[in-house]
């Protein structure tokens, strides 16, 4: 692993209490960043902070529900006061809307649609809204977590149409921001993830039918990706190694969208 390419940077990671967010916070800390951990799960944040501290690295925790605009505004203002600046944001927080009523469009409830959009797209917009002024000062970077389902249609095994629409919205939001803010030095990119083994994907991890499809879906490995696969990509995009990259949608999907 290349060490130190985020040295001296303040990086905020949302969804940092578990899964991809936790792995990414650890990777950014390993790369030299001081990490601002953001999630509504305060217990999970304490666990992530403990893991970072055990490595001799530094972080600060900001428990907040990212669908609460005022809470996000206050959290961003506090993390900038604490750290003196903000150099990068990795927006990971989100999740499946099945429990709210997401599904195929003819079966998806309006409440499921709205809850899924709020969780996966509106929350990201709000974080970007309040982080962007500070990132313009540092000519920083935003990385937004998308999904292959925002790029290609999902079949009957992945028929969550509100989630797919939200993740397509992540691409549209990110590319619009990338174009608009490029002259002011702010970079905005998307990671479109395939099936990754995290707490969010427990349904797929325990579904023998989906597991049997992995060699077709993700032929590079025939298996699910790991949270660390996404974390390493995010660390690169947040670093100065990616200084000439903006508006990109980088698929980290084991070949899902290459077919």
Across the beta sheet with 88-91, what order do the strands follow?
59-63, 34-39, 10-14, 88-91, 141-147, 187-193, 249-252
In 10 A of CB 185, how many CB atoms? Answer: 15
How large is the C-alpha radius of gyration of the chain?
Answer: 17
Q: How far, in Å, CA of 12 to CA of 76, rounded?
A: 9
> 132 is written with which tokens?
């962007």
Catalytic-residue membership of 130: no
In 10 A of CB 76, how many CB atoms? Answer: 25
> 12 is written with which tokens?
């905020």
Task: Using CB atoms within 10 Å of the CB of residue 146, give its burial: 0 to 12 exposed, 13 to 18 middle, 19+ buried.
Answer: buried
Q: Which of 62, 163, 180, 181 is catalytic?
A: 163
Taking alpha carbons only, the member of 92, 128, 127 closest to residue 230 is 92
User: Burial code of 209-230, b = ≥16 C-beta within 10 A, e = fewer?
Assistant: ebeebbeebbeeeeebbebebb
Q: How far, in Å, CA of 237 to CA of 232, rounded?
A: 9
Enzyme catalytic residues:
163
């Amino acid at each position: 692993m290349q060490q130190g390419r985020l040295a001296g940077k303040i990086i905020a990671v949302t969804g940092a209490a578990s899964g991809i967010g936790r792995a990414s916070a650890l990777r950014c800390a390993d790369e030299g960043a001081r990490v601002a951990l953001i999630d509504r799960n305060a217990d999970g944040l304490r666990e992530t902070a403990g893991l970072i501290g055990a490595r001799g690295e530094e972080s600060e925790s900001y428990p907040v529900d990212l669908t609460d605009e005022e809470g996000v505004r206050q959290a961003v203002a506090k993390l900038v006061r604490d750290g003196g600046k903000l150099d990068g944001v990795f927006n990971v927080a989100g999740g499946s809307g099945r429990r709210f009523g997401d599904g195929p469009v003819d079966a998806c409830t309006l409440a499921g649609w709205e809850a899924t959009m709020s969780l996966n797209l509106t929350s990201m917009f709000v974080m970007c809204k309040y982080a962007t002024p500070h990132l313009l000062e540092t000519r920083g970077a935003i990385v937004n977590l998308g999904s292959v389902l925002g790029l290609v249609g999902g079949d009957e095994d992945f028929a969550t149409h509100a989630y797919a629409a939200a993740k397509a919205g992540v691409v549209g939001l990110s590319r619009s921001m990338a174009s608009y803010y490029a002259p002011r030095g702010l970079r905005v990119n998307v990671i479109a993830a395939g099936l990754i083994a995290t707490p969010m994907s427990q349904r797929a991890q325990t579904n023998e039918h989906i597991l049997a499809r992995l060699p077709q879906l993700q032929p590079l490995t025939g298996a699910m990706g790991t949270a660390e696969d996404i974390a390493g990509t995010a660390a690169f995009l947040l670093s100065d190694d990616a200084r000439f990259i903006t508006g990109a949608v980088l698929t980290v999907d084991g070949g899902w969208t290459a077919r």
